[in-house]
Chains A and B, each alone.
Chain A
Amino acid sequence: MHAVLLADEDDFEGWRDAARGLAVAGVPPREVTWQVGQGGGDLFGDEAPPPAADGPAFAVPRAFLTLAQSVICHSDPERFALLYTLLCRIRSNPQAMEDGADPLVQRLERMAKEVRRDMHKMHAFLRFREVPEPDGGETGGPDGAERFVAWFEPDHHIVRATAGFFVRRFAGMRWSILTPELSIHWDGERLTESPGAARTDAPSGDPVEETWKTYYSSIFNPARLKVGAMLKEMPKKYWKNMPETALVAPLIAGAQGREAAMVEASKRKLSEAEVEGLATADKAERRLQPGGNALAAWEAILADAKACTRCHLYKHATQTVFGEGPLDARIMFVGEQPGDQEDLAGRPFVGPAGQLFDRALGEAGVDRAQTYVTNAVKHFKFERRGKRRIHSKPEAPEIEACRWWIEQERTLIRPPVTVALGATAARSLFGRVMTISRVRGQALELPDGGEAWVTVHPSFLLRLPDPDKKREEYARFVEDLARIGERAKALA
């Protein structure tokens, strides 16, 4: 084993000298460890220092050096070893760098890109603040007499790499840039370094910031709001050092103007549902008929269902979403599974599809208060995409596991008509795959002898892209519901 001790986190020269020696000596990458700092000798007891480069120097493509200079600044401790691996590969195949589709080249290029982005963001988002002279001198004198201090927290070891930019740009000013790892100072002629600093070492304000904020809020065009585009380029982690970002929230709120009330209303609805759901869902306003054994039995089933672990879905969902409605309901609607909002609320059919369902029921002349609604699968199944939970279709084993509960509910309520909303519900009730278009709009006999109808799930209507088609399908759905309502009345 060989151990290499580098002077600094961004010690490119040190890495290059050591790597050159190791490569000439033919040391394979797995036999080298890379360390930064003043490590004591005994740490590496039996490890040899890198061999000195005495053989003939060898050339590497310029692109590799450019890449390495960026990658060295990365915060990933593996960067030295990865670069050395690529260097060894380049020695045997000088074109190894050009293969952009190779995983190692790609990883290093990605790291270099992250470093370049971090540097670019430091160039862009660092903010200087003017400070009184430490020696009590006059501020605001002739050009160059002022002193400025900035505080910045880079992700990677880039302070030295960015110093040149600030020197070239602010050569006629005196300034300091403080970061947790390293501070740099420019006195108009020379650049000096000092150890890292704390946020409190930097000044807390500057009177010009108010003028800058005035500009920021005036140049913004309220007719075009693209918050996503802003966040992509100016992520929140940089905000704390930028005076203008204090205005972002009020500007967005103001621009939304008339829309604000609507947005606010929908927010209120969600958080109410959330609160309700997190308080015990059992006590939520379920329209249950008091008295009788049925209620006690139903409550017992509910308690069991709350602790259901019949399939793996319980692991990620918030809670079991059981059915609800009067226990003497004439119609039992079976949906697919709870969605995001149902999962939080603990009640079925409260989300967008549920609201659409309510509306359709109303138009069909069916009183939802007289129906029992439940789902084929009682836990929310989803894929996490960023912060959002995207509905994911339940599969056969999950539907099978949950049939247990549907059967309990049907036994207890004994509805004259059971309605499967969508293919999953039909699969659950009939125990086999059904084609909705073939069985829709007619009374069917269930395996246990009850009567069932099949129609589409309201979320299907939500997903139709074409508005004409959507209207047409909605009308058909209402028609189905009306016919089911008539049938339930006839059977009663």
Chain B
Amino acid sequence: MAQLGTREKLAILADAAKYDASCASSGTSKRNSIGGKGIGSTEGMGICHAYAPDGRCISLLKILLTNSCIFDCHYCINRKSSNVRRARFTAEEVVQLTLAFYKRNYIEGLFLSSGIIRSPDYTMEQIVRVARSLREEHDFHGYIHLKTIPDADPELVHQAGLHADRVSINVELPTVAGLTRLAPEKDAGRIEGAMKDMKAAIVDTRDAKRRFRSAPNFAPAGQSTQMIVGADGADDRAIIGRASGLYDRFRLRRVYYSAFSPIPDASAVLPLKRPPLMREHRLYQSDWLMRFYGFEPGEVGQVTDAAGMLPLDIDPKLAWALKFRERFPVDVNRADREALLRVPGLGVKAVDKIVASRRLRSLRLDDVARLTVSIAKVRPFITTADWRPTLLTDRADLGARLRPASQQLELFAA
């Protein structure tokens, strides 16, 4: 095989990495390059340096070290039996590419993952070598996200945590049965074991940091995971339950969902079927409800239908409000923060502003309108000094009135 140039390898290995949903570069410790010899800083909030036409942000250089793999997971484009073009970067190439992009302000840092070659240990060692070189030889202070391999030696995984801001281990599929069937070489027990070790190391470091300022950093942006939605038979209720269990047990920062699309061998052509993006979106919304809006997993589960699926036409928060009408309307001048957070159309920021403003005066509908994006969505669920949705919350067709208008312009869509 002819030797591939850097750009050709980049094209193959970036293409192979695009099924990883995460591009977050937020939530790590603050640091900068002043006084050092290198470059790089992180300031809490991640920055999206560009947007692709798929609407997703480009924040990190997201690549695989190699897309060769000795595993044969059916949902994965890089599986052993797939005949995609293979390529492999050396650790040094990844380091130089990261620095060249970073210096031109294209990226916040690196997200490195890899197919498994030779052995899990060997692969993990290569990944760690990239991160170590960036941090130690080049004094790089930018963001690094490393994907770790659960089967690798725990010491190597620990090394990854020392250099990276965030580490992740993918649970891959929502159910253990699905994992056994679709990823025969992977083991649910080992994946969770690695996540547990990671959590312990993160907690230990936090404790040590409290006592000794010089204690080494360990994954200051925590750990995350990803699961593929739609490849096995798990319904939304099962996925939500699984995600909330992961949050509780391993203190994850994020659970990412990736809508499964039947992946052809060559990903340059379109998948056979468009992925069910709306389902992915609704799952993320339910994730938000649990993390920021005080919903219990069981409460989100209440809005799923008989088949255990979230409604696709309206968001889960609105669905919940329509199902539990007796909880509304909520008086914006009196209700507690938790009750306000349940009102469809009121976000965390709007609720905080309402709580601050109402200390000074009694809020009217116009005031609330100025604090929210769309008063039309909020109105049926609140009362203000001058507004009371007399009949609205009792209307049988309230759901229909609040659903987004259909976009059907053609009579019989082809």
Contact A99 B357 (CB under 8 A): yes
Contact A219 B18 (CB under 8 A): yes
Take A127-B105, A224-B275 as given contacts and tell me if A100 and B54 are in contact as well, using a CB distance cutoff of 8 Å. no
Q: How far is the CA of A462 from the CA of B271 in the complex (A)?
A: 31
A214 at the interface (CB under 8 A from B): yes
Take A170-B33, A219-B17, A223-B275 as given contacts and tell me if A146 and B103 are in contact as well, using a CB distance cutoff of 8 Å. yes
Contact B360 A99 (CB under 8 A): yes
A172 at the interface (CB under 8 A from B): yes
A471 at the interface (CB under 8 A from B): yes
Take A171-B34, A208-B100 as given contacts and tell me if A230 and B52 are in contact as well, using a CB distance cutoff of 8 Å. yes
A225 — which chain B residues lie within 8 A by C-beta?
A: 53-55
* Chain A residues bordering chain B, tally (CB within 8 A): 70
Take A98-B356, A172-B33, A218-B14 as given contacts and tell me if A125 and B39 are in contact as well, using a CB distance cutoff of 8 Å. no
A255 at the interface (CB under 8 A from B): yes
Contact B38 A143 (CB under 8 A): yes
Nearest-neighbor residue (CB-CB) of A103 within chain B: B370
B189 at the interface (CB under 8 A from A): no
For window 51-67 of B, CB contacts with A under 8 Å fall at 51-58, 61-62
Contact A129 B104 (CB under 8 A): yes
A356 at the interface (CB under 8 A from B): yes
Contact A471 B412 (CB under 8 A): yes
Take A210-B7, A233-B48, A461-B411 as given contacts and tell me if A248 and B53 are in contact as well, using a CB distance cutoff of 8 Å. yes
Q: How far is the CA of A171 from the CA of B353 in the complex (A)?
A: 38
> Which of A27-35, A64-72, A161-169, A298-306 is the contact stretch?
A161-169
Contact B53 A251 (CB under 8 A): yes
Q: How far is the CA of A284 from the CA of B361 in the complex (A)?
A: 64
Contact A212 B101 (CB under 8 A): yes
For window 63-122 of B, CB contacts with A under 8 Å fall at 97, 100-101, 103-106
B363 — which chain A residues lie within 8 A by C-beta?
A: 101
Contact A222 B370 (CB under 8 A): no
Among the listed A126, A228, A461, which residue makes an inter-chain contact with B55, where contact means beta carbons less than 8 Å apart? Answer: A228
Mark each residue of chain A from 288 to 315: 1 if its CB lies under 8 Å from any CB of chain B, else 0: 0000000000000000000000000000
A222 — which chain B residues lie within 8 A by C-beta?
A: 54, 268, 270
A261 at the interface (CB under 8 A from B): no
Contact A172 B54 (CB under 8 A): no
B271 — which chain A residues lie within 8 A by C-beta?
A: 223
B15 at the interface (CB under 8 A from A): yes
Contact B103 A128 (CB under 8 A): yes
Take A215-B14, A233-B48, A462-B411 as given contacts and tell me if A170 and B353 are in contact as well, using a CB distance cutoff of 8 Å. no
Contact A224 B55 (CB under 8 A): yes
A257 at the interface (CB under 8 A from B): yes
B161 to chain A, nearest CB (A): 24
Among the listed A124, A251, A467, which residue makes an inter-chain contact with B408, where contact means beta carbons less than 8 Å apart? Answer: A467
Q: How far is the CA of A123 from the CA of B15 in the complex (A)?
A: 26
A172 — which chain B residues lie within 8 A by C-beta?
A: 33, 36-39, 139
Q: How far is the CA of A215 from the CA of B356 in the complex (A)?
A: 46
Contact A226 B54 (CB under 8 A): yes
A474 at the interface (CB under 8 A from B): yes
Contact B6 A211 (CB under 8 A): yes
B270 — which chain A residues lie within 8 A by C-beta?
A: 222-223, 255, 257
Contact B35 A211 (CB under 8 A): no
Contact B104 A128 (CB under 8 A): yes
For window 113-139 of B, CB contacts with A under 8 Å fall at 138-139
Nearest-neighbor residue (CB-CB) of B49 within chain A: A124
B139 — which chain A residues lie within 8 A by C-beta?
A: 143, 172
Q: How far is the CA of A150 from the CA of B275 in the complex (A)?
A: 39
B50, B106, B368, B408: most-surrounded residue (chain A CB, <10 A): B50
Contact B360 A98 (CB under 8 A): yes
B395 at the interface (CB under 8 A from A): no
Q: How far is the CA of A462 from the CA of B53 in the complex (A)?
A: 30
Q: How far is the CA of A62 from the CA of B105 in the complex (A)?
A: 32
Contact A173 B39 (CB under 8 A): yes
Contact B357 A98 (CB under 8 A): yes
A106 to chain B, nearest CB (A): 6
B48, B268, B363, B368: most-surrounded residue (chain A CB, <10 A): B48
Chain B binding surface, main DSSP class: loop
For window 258-285 of B, CB contacts with A under 8 Å fall at 261, 268, 270-271, 274-275, 277
Interchain pairs with CB closer than 8 A, number: 197
Nearest-neighbor residue (CB-CB) of B50 within chain A: A244
B375 at the interface (CB under 8 A from A): no
Q: How far is the CA of A328 from the CA of B111 in the complex (A)?
A: 74
Mark each residue of chain B from 129 to 151: 1 if its CB lies under 8 Å from any CB of chain A, else 0: 00000000011000000000000
B38 — which chain A residues lie within 8 A by C-beta?
A: 143, 172
Take A124-B48, A165-B43, A173-B39 as given contacts and tell me if A223 and B274 are in contact as well, using a CB distance cutoff of 8 Å. yes
A405 at the interface (CB under 8 A from B): no
Size range of the interface on B? Answer: 35 or more
A17 at the interface (CB under 8 A from B): no
Contact A214 B10 (CB under 8 A): yes
B11 at the interface (CB under 8 A from A): yes
A221 — which chain B residues lie within 8 A by C-beta?
A: 18, 52, 54, 56
Mark each residue of chain B from 379 to 411: 1 if its CB lies under 8 Å from any CB of chain A, else 0: 000000000000000000000000001101111
A239 to chain B, nearest CB (A): 10
Contact A171 B105 (CB under 8 A): no
Mark each residue of chain A from 226 to 270: 1 if its CB lies under 8 Å from any CB of chain B, else 0: 111110011000000010100010011001010000000000000
B359 at the interface (CB under 8 A from A): yes
B41 at the interface (CB under 8 A from A): yes
Among the listed B10, B57, B105, which residue makes an inter-chain contact with A150, where contact means beta carbons less than 8 Å apart? Answer: B105
Q: How far is the CA of A252 from the CA of B48 in the complex (A)?
A: 20
Nearest-neighbor residue (CB-CB) of B39 within chain A: A172
B207 — which chain A residues lie within 8 A by C-beta?
A: none
Contact A352 B32 (CB under 8 A): no
B101 — which chain A residues lie within 8 A by C-beta?
A: 208, 211-212, 215
B40 at the interface (CB under 8 A from A): yes
B299 at the interface (CB under 8 A from A): no
A26 at the interface (CB under 8 A from B): no
Contact A219 B97 (CB under 8 A): no
B62 to chain A, nearest CB (A): 6
Contact B103 A148 (CB under 8 A): yes
A16 at the interface (CB under 8 A from B): no
Among the listed A209, A233, A252, A356, which residue makes an inter-chain contact with B411, where contact means beta carbons less than 8 Å apart? Answer: A356
B309 at the interface (CB under 8 A from A): no
A266 to chain B, nearest CB (A): 11
Q: How far is the CA of A130 from the CA of B57 in the complex (A)?
A: 25
7 contacts between A and B (CB under 8 A): A216-B52, A218-B14, A219-B17, A223-B271, A228-B55, A230-B51, A234-B50
Residues of A that sit less than 8 Å from B by CB? 95, 98-101, 106, 120, 123-130, 143-144, 146, 148, 150, 165, 167-173, 206, 208-212, 214-230, 233-234, 242, 244, 248, 251-252, 255, 257, 352, 356, 461-462, 464-465, 467, 470-471, 474
Closest 5 CB pairs of A and B: A229-B55, A226-B55, A168-B32, A101-B367, A218-B14
Known: A127-B105, A222-B54, A224-B56. 8 other contacts (CB 8 A): A100-B371, A143-B39, A165-B43, A170-B103, A172-B37, A173-B39, A208-B100, A225-B55
Residues of B that sit less than 8 Å from A by CB? 6-7, 10-12, 14-15, 17-18, 32-41, 43, 47-58, 61-62, 97, 100-101, 103-106, 138-139, 261, 268, 270-271, 274-275, 277, 353, 356-357, 359-361, 363, 366-368, 370-371, 405-406, 408-412
